[in-house]
Amino acid sequence: MNNVRQELYKELRRIEEDSLYSMKGHFNAADFWSKINIFMGVTGAIAAAIAGLTSLAEGYQWLITLSALFSATIIGINTFLNASEKAQAHKSSGNSFYAIRSDARFLSNIESSTLNDNNFIAKANNIRERKNKINSEALGIPKYAYQKAKKGIESGEPDYEVDNEH
C-alpha cells in the first residue's frame, strides 16, 4: 500500500470520528431545543386556557390579566428563542454528519479496494468538502451537547453489534 493510500485511510478515519462527535452533539442539541419548544408551547397554551376559562367567572380579573400576560410572555420568549427552528437545524446537521460518517466508513472499508488512487483521492476529497460545507453552515454545538456526546461515545453508545463480534 502506498503512502497516499495510507494517509487517505487515516484522513477518512479522522472524518469518521469527527463526524461522529458532531452528529451526536447536534442530535443532543436538537433534543434539548425540541424539549424547550414543547415546554414553552404547552406552558403558553395552558396559561391562555386559564385566562380564557377565568374570563367566564366574575371577580377574577387579576387572574385573567396575569394568565394572559404570562401566556404572552412565554409565547414571546419562545418566538425570540426560535426553539423549533433551532431543533430542526440541529437535527438536519446531525443527519448530514451521519451521512458523512457512513460514506467515509464505506469508502474506507469497502469501496477503496475497487478504486485506483486517483478515484480514491477524488472520492475522499468529495467527502472532505461535504463535511467542511456542513461545518461552515451548521449551528455551533453547545458545550453541554458536546460533553453529553463525548460521554455517550466513550461509553460505547454508537457501537454496532456487528463490529463487536469476534
Per-residue pLDDT of the chain (166 residues; tens, 9 = 90+): 578 999 999 999 999 999 999 999 999 999 999 999 999 999 988 888 888 888 777 777 888 888 888 888 998 998 899 999 999 999 999 999 999 999 999 999 999 999 999 999 999 999 999 999 999 999 999 999 999 999 999 988 877 766 666 5
Q: Which of 27, 45, 39 lies closest to 142, judged by CA?
A: 27
- What pLDDT shows up at residue 162? 66
- What pLDDT shows up at residue 34? 97
Contact by Cβ (8 Å): 25, 163: no
Name the DSSP letter for residue 165: -
- What pLDDT shows up at residue 64? 82
- What pLDDT shows up at residue 53? 81
Q: Taking the mean position of all CA atoms in its chain, how far away is CA 91?
A: 4
Q: Give the cell for residue 91.
A: 437535527
Number of separate helices (H) and strands (E) present in the chain: 6, 0
User: Which amino acid would we find at residue 149?
Assistant: A
- What pLDDT shows up at residue 59? 78
> Residues with Cβ < 8 Å from 129, sequence gap 6 or more?
none
User: Which amino acid would we find at residue 108?
Assistant: S
Q: What is the pTM of this model?
A: 0.86
Domain layout of the chain by residue ranges: 3-156
Question: How far is it, in rounded angstroms, from Cα 81 to Cα 78?
Answer: 5
Q: Which of 137, 153, 138, 148 lies closest to 32, judged by CA?
A: 148
CA dihedral 9, 12, 17, 22 (to 10 degrees): 170
CA angle 27, 29, 34 (to 5 degrees): 95
- What pLDDT shows up at residue 106? 97
Name the DSSP letter for residue 139: P
Name the DSSP letter for residue 114: G
> Residues with Cβ < 8 Å from 71, sequence gap 6 or more?
44, 45, 47, 48, 51
